Structure 1
């Protein structure tokens, strides 16, 4: 597990606008993953994606 992921690795985080989903998305981004945030509340998901960083929608 000490290996850093390549930039090609990605993840879709469902429920990403909520507390746990947001935390998971942030942790994956810190580890170098490309992350897509999905949630039933699209506006909230877009807001979280914007907070976590540009190009991470």
Structure 2
């Protein structure tokens, strides 16, 4: 869902599932994630990811 949401953001059409990294996964379904931009070798800002997810949820 995150990768799909990011593809709808202008200039982010190339976001793939492999760009979404799950971190600190536990058995109790607790985790955090980051979205990477491999072309610039950094993670995307949280507000950009949150905005993309919110816009995608509103379009369903």
TM-score grouping bracket, smaller chain normalisation: under 0.3
TM-score, reference length from structure 2:
0.22
Larger RCO of the pair (alpha carbons < 8 Å, separation 6+)? 1
TM-score, reference length from structure 1:
0.22
